[in-house]
A = this chain, B = another copy of it.
Amino acid sequence: MTQSREANPLHAIFNARSVAFVGASNKPTTMGTIQMLNTLRGNFKGPVIPVHPRLDRVLGEKAYPTLRALPDPVDLAVLVVPTDAVLPVVEDAAARGIRHLVITSAGFREGGEEGRQREERLRELSRRHGIRFVGPNCIGVLNTASGLNTTFFPYLHAPGPLGLASQSGTYVTQVLDLLSRWGIGLSKAISVGNSVSIDLADCLDFFADDPDTRAVALYIEGIPDGRKFLSAARRCTARKPVVALYVGGTEGGARSGRSHTGAMGGPDEIYNGLFAQAGIQRVSTVADLYTFGWALATQAVPRGNRMVILTHSGGPATSMADAVYRHGMTLSRFSSDLEARIREMLPATASASNPIDLTFSLDIKLLQEKLPPLLLGQDTVDGLLMHGLQGSTFFSDISRIAGDLFSLPLDQMSEFARLAVEPLCRMPEQFQKPIVMSCFYDRRDNVVRTLQDSLIPVFDTPERAVAAMGALVRYGEYRRRLAQPGNSDARAFV
């Protein structure tokens, strides 16, 4: 069932060393122009070649009137042309020996009977010429390592180990700004559109082998070929975690999906069964899709469900403690010996049992350097949840209010806070245990930014951090079931 590494066309597409854009121009308001721009200016190393019937140069690059006129074949051609022009351009590609395409253009299956027939002709034509393509009705692909970005949103933040495959272009493009604000970096992303040639199963098969991707997030409106999907998903989930947002299980979702990508959704029960068999965690919101995916991509798999909560805020401590139980985890019980060791480190108003709430002692060394290794070193602790580590923002807000009343050495304080958090940044690796955090400040705060850039998830609210830790715990349970002798088929995700 499984394709060999070479056979999966996504390898050729993501490793493309030259790209042509059919439909780019010099008008900054057209989609094709922006798509070409994002690859041209996205650190892509190879040639980026515009194809335009009339223009000599597009975005400063020499243009050719058709794909047939290219001096050499390109590894990948991106089609951003009117619906009626798609088939002729595919013929051009075939004639020039181009075997991989991204077809952005819409107007196929999702648009009724005429579109369905057009899609059928596209399928036949590409098969005849041995052409594999992403789309149609898609935004294409993004490879943050190579700078290849056929979408029309620029990728402006650091790459990371999360891979995305989506039946919605929005969830791999428009969402990039949100992901950057949440500190979530992508390896590769694929908008599959109508999936005529390359579908979600091909994406899973590809991600299973992709060394840049440590977890995969899927957005699904409907899966036409359950058997192919299951086979590819099992191969992938045996190696790395996969989360999926499936939205076709309600009347509203099914109806909307049909007119969006022509997807045929099915009842939740069917899909729940499919995901369980595939070892995929289903999530219910796009926020969970990305945040669970990010925790799974960055943190060690926990050995159990016993959590420690460490913070200096009583409310978030209690919210996290409550959420830990609601997400199927427990609070690690401290031995009296451990509790005594902790107590002698703490101020009088603080709680030495789990959750550990330092109250506003502002003893950064205690919170960030002394307690975490003590806790992570315990056999009875499987993961650490923290809330509220922060640096520059509070100081600068106070400074702003204070004006001339007093002056804080802002740079010095911020740098002190950043240095103080560095040992913590190394602890997930050192202890091979997950750390997930929340903070009400975002990455404008230098401590939040430092943590996030060290691949420690810092989310906006306590429950979101706990929910993401829950996804890690469930994946750990799944891995342990997989590893039991004679249990290679008991993959059900519960």
Knowing A400-B156, A461-B285 touch, does A325 contact B28 (C-beta < 8 A)? no
- Our pick among B221, B248, B463 for the contact of A286 (Cβ within 8 Å) is B463
Which of chain B's residues have a CB closer than 8 A to the CB of A464?
285, 287
- Our pick among B38, B324, B441 for the contact of A177 (Cβ within 8 Å) is B441
Interface presence of A111 (CB below 8 A): yes
Could you tell me the distance between the alpha carbons of A394 and B151 in the complex, rounded to whole angstroms?
13
Interface presence of A71 (CB below 8 A): no
Which of chain B's residues have a CB closer than 8 A to the CB of A348?
107, 111
| Complex interface residues of chain A between 150 and 186 (CB less than 8 A to chain B) | 153-154, 156, 166-171, 174-178, 181
21 CB contacts below 8 A, A to B, read A26-B406, A107-B349, A156-B397, A156-B400, A156-B401, A176-B440, A178-B440, A178-B460, A247-B322, A250-B324, A251-B330, A251-B331, A252-B322, A253-B318, A256-B355, A256-B357, A259-B353, A259-B357, A260-B318, A285-B461, A286-B463
Q: Closest approach, in angstroms, between the C-beta of A390 and any C-beta of chain B?
A: 9
- Our pick among B110, B170, B181, B441 for the contact of A315 (Cβ within 8 Å) is B170
Q: Closest approach, in angstroms, between the C-beta of A35 and any C-beta of chain B?
A: 11
Which of chain B's residues have a CB closer than 8 A to the CB of A170?
313-316, 388
State whether A260 touches B357 (Cβ < 8 A): yes
Interface presence of A462 (CB below 8 A): yes
Knowing A111-B348, A170-B315, A314-B168 touch, does A28 contact B398 (C-beta < 8 A)? yes
Which of chain B's residues have a CB closer than 8 A to the CB of A405?
37, 41, 59-60
| Complex interface residues of chain A between 361 and 408 (CB less than 8 A to chain B) | 388, 393-394, 397-398, 400-403, 405-406, 408
State whether A318 touches B257 (Cβ < 8 A): yes
Knowing A154-B398, A461-B285 touch, does A169 contact B315 (C-beta < 8 A)? yes
Q: Closest approach, in angstroms, between the C-beta of A106 and any C-beta of chain B?
A: 5
| Complex interface residues of chain A between 239 and 274 (CB less than 8 A to chain B) | 245, 247-253, 255-257, 259-261
Interface presence of A326 (CB below 8 A): yes
Residue count of chain A within 8 Å CB distance of chain B: 94
Q: Closest approach, in angstroms, between the C-beta of A135 and any C-beta of chain B?
A: 14
Which of chain B's residues have a CB closer than 8 A to the CB of A357?
256, 259-260
- Our pick among B28, B261, B403 for the contact of A314 (Cβ within 8 Å) is B261
Knowing A28-B402, A177-B441 touch, does A247 contact B169 (C-beta < 8 A)? no
Which of chain B's residues have a CB closer than 8 A to the CB of A28?
398, 402, 406, 408
Knowing A154-B397, A322-B247 touch, does A41 contact B351 (C-beta < 8 A)? no
Could you tell me the distance between the alpha carbons of A408 and B29 in the complex, rounded to whole angstroms?
9
Chain A interface residues toward B at CB < 8 A: 26, 28, 31, 34, 37-38, 41-42, 59-60, 106-107, 110-111, 153-154, 156, 166-171, 174-178, 181, 219, 221, 245, 247-253, 255-257, 259-261, 284-287, 309, 313-326, 330-331, 348-349, 351, 353, 355, 357, 359-360, 388, 393-394, 397-398, 400-403, 405-406, 408, 440-442, 460-464
Report the copy number of this chain in the oligomer: 2
Which of chain B's residues have a CB closer than 8 A to the CB of A253?
318-319, 321-322, 325
Which of chain B's residues have a CB closer than 8 A to the CB of A174?
313, 388, 440
Closest-by-CB residue of B relative to A107 is B349
Which of chain B's residues have a CB closer than 8 A to the CB of A393?
177
Could you tell me the distance between the alpha carbons of A178 and B253 in the complex, rounded to whole angstroms?
31
State whether B322 touches A249 (Cβ < 8 A): yes
Chain B CB within 10 Å, residue with most, of A168, A174, A359: A174
Chain B CB within 10 Å, residue with most, of A59, A154, A393, A440: A440
State whether B315 touches A219 (Cβ < 8 A): yes
- The 6 closest A-B CB pairs, nearest first, are A168-B315, A253-B322, A252-B321, A260-B314, A250-B325, A256-B321
